[in-house]
Amino acid sequence: MSYLTNEQKTINNCRFCHMCRHVCPIGKQTGKEIHHARGRALILSRLLKGEKIDGEIAQAVYECALCGGCVEQCVTGFDPTTFTRAARTEAAAENLIPEAVNKVVQNLLNSGNPFGLPQAEKNKGFADLIKDLPEKADVLLFIGCTASYKTPEIARAAINLFKKAKVKFTVLKEEKCCGLYLGDLIGAVEESRQQASLVVEQIKNTGAKTVVALCPSCTKVFKREYPEWGLELKAEVITITSYLERLLNEGRLKPKKLNCKVTFHDPCRLARDLEETEPARAIINSLGMDLKEMFFNKAKTHCCGGGLLDLYAPELTALTSKGRWEEASRNADTMLVACSSCQLVMKKTQPENMKLKNLIEIFWEQCENS
């Protein structure tokens, strides 16, 4: 039985419907019919009628950021990401994963992270800050692969903020990958579940009652996919932005003001999947910044392209991120991000006249000497 069979209703409802095409960040840039839900559903509907998946179809279903823009747009509740994921599982089962995507899959399976980097290097950027942290604590700061390997300065900022606020916390010394990327690439199959279950065990061993995830994608998989995969984190899961807002409200962090005009790029996973938009704004407000909202903000945010897509289709994320910079430039010369993946993607196409700052890092800078 095809993995698409369970998605028949959604496929058949989406295959002739164009009503979400205008919100796709990739389709908006490329104009291609396969870069929106209808085009993919039309192709997949033919598979439901007996056609076989092939390399071209597999390539098409991986050219999606799974950002949920189409889901948010559909007033009748259809979710095209479900059939895109199912088609990816189908492609994986038929050994049709495109080469560039498969490289990332193999990195995840063999190295435990999407970059194919050694586990031993994961904490290098902040090892000094965590070496004396206890093995067990009520609060666990979950760093995530992207911040660990690629933006350790953000991890440092978060750790320093927790120390400043005198939070009793710990950080996993050999943190495993949350499993989101593998799930997004090959589906909710045994390999993804197994990878995730390692994390569940790690977290359990810390005794943490609260898991603060630095990355919105990690938060999303903990809160949404893990229960679907039959995994249970017996802890409160909270985003870094929500936790920092909590510390602000408790008076445990008192940042100095920063007088500048900024715009904020809502990470799609945070704004749509987790329906969280205000804590980041509360932090921006606490810094005294003049926030000029983008037209496409909050749940209507335009995805930058995403860290995962950037790993195997950087030509697409170059287009999506340029589009987002154009939107940002109409509001301020400084874009704030609250996600390491967004930061990496946006940095690659950063115009000369625009600044890019991570909210967590700026927040630490303003709290450091307060």
Partner 1 sequence: MQTNSLMSQMILGELEDAVGREHISLSQVEKIAHSVDNFWLPRMWVDRGETPPVADWIVYPGSPEEVSAVLKIANYYKIPVTPWGGGAGSQGGAMPVRGGIIMDTKRMNKVIKFDAESYTVTAETGIIQQNLEWEANERGYSLMHYPSSIGCSTLGGFLAHRGTGVLSTKYGNMDDLCVSLEVVLPNGEIIHTLPVPKHSVGPDLKSLFTGSEGTLGVITKAEMKIFDIPESRRFQAYMFHNLTDGIRAGRKVMKRIKPSIIRLFDEPETQKLIKRVMGINKPGVYMVFGFEGDKAITDVEANIIHDICMESAYEELRPELGEQWWKQRYDFFYPPHVFDLPRMFGTMDTVSTYANIEKIYWAMKRAIEDNFPQAQFIAHFSHWFDWGCMMYDRFIVENPPQDPAEALRLHNEIWNTGVRAAIANGGTLNDHHGIGLKLSRLMREQYGPAMQVLEGLKKSLDPNNIMNPFKLGL
* Cα distance between residue 63 and residue 54, in whole Å: 15
- Cα 80 from chain centroid? 18
Shortest Å, Cβ 185 to partner 1: 19
Shortest Å, Cβ 311 to partner 1: 20
Shortest Å, Cβ 57 to partner 1: 6
What totals of helices (H) and strands (E) does the chain contain, helices first? 21, 8
* Cα distance between residue 20 and residue 32, in whole Å: 14
Task: Between 182 and 313, name the residue whose CB sits nearer to partner 1.
Answer: 313
* Cα distance between residue 302 and residue 269, in whole Å: 11
Task: Between 23 and 200, name the residue whose CB sits nearer to partner 1.
Answer: 23
Task: Between 73 and 321, name the residue whose CB sits nearer to partner 1.
Answer: 73
Shortest Å, Cβ 287 to partner 1: 25
* Cα distance between residue 234 and residue 203, in whole Å: 9
Task: Between 193 and 302, name the residue whose CB sits nearer to partner 1.
Answer: 302
Shortest Å, Cβ 50 to partner 1: 8
Tokens of 56: 């071209």
For residue 210, the cross-strand partners are: 139, 236
Shortest Å, Cβ 195 to partner 1: 30
Task: Between 22 and 173, name the residue whose CB sits nearer to partner 1.
Answer: 22
Task: Between 84 and 170, name the residue whose CB sits nearer to partner 1.
Answer: 84
Task: Between 43 and 240, name the residue whose CB sits nearer to partner 1.
Answer: 43
CA distances, 361 to each of 4, 246, 283 (Å): 43, 17, 12
Shortest Å, Cβ 308 to partner 1: 21
| Beta strands across the sheet bearing 236-239 | 169-170, 139-142, 210-213, 236-239
CB atoms inside a 10 Å sphere around CB 76:
7
Task: Between 226 and 296, name the residue whose CB sits nearer to partner 1.
Answer: 296
Residues that bind partner 1 (CB under 8 A): 13-23, 28, 30-34, 39, 42-43, 45-46, 49-50, 56-57, 59-60, 73-76, 78, 295-296, 330
CA atoms within a 13 Å half-sphere pointing along the CA-CB vector of 82: 15
State the burial class of residue 52 (Cβ atoms within 10 Å of its Cβ: 0-12, 13-18, 19+): exposed
* Cα distance between residue 84 and residue 220, in whole Å: 18
Q: What is the DSSP letter of 235?
A: S
Question: Looking at this protein, which amino acid is placed at residue 129?
Answer: L
Task: Between 85 and 156, name the residue whose CB sits nearer to partner 1.
Answer: 85
Shortest Å, Cβ 322 to partner 1: 12
Given a contact cutoff of 8 angstroms between Cβ atoms, the answer to whether 196 and 187 are in contact is no
Shortest Å, Cβ 19 to partner 1: 5
Kindly provide the b/e burial profile for residues 304-323, where b requires at least 16 CB atoms within 10 angstroms of the residue's own CB.
bbbbbbbbbbeebbbbbbbb
Task: Between 28 and 223, name the residue whose CB sits nearer to partner 1.
Answer: 28
Shortest Å, Cβ 320 to partner 1: 14
Given a contact cutoff of 8 angstroms between Cβ atoms, the answer to whether 302 and 282 are in contact is no
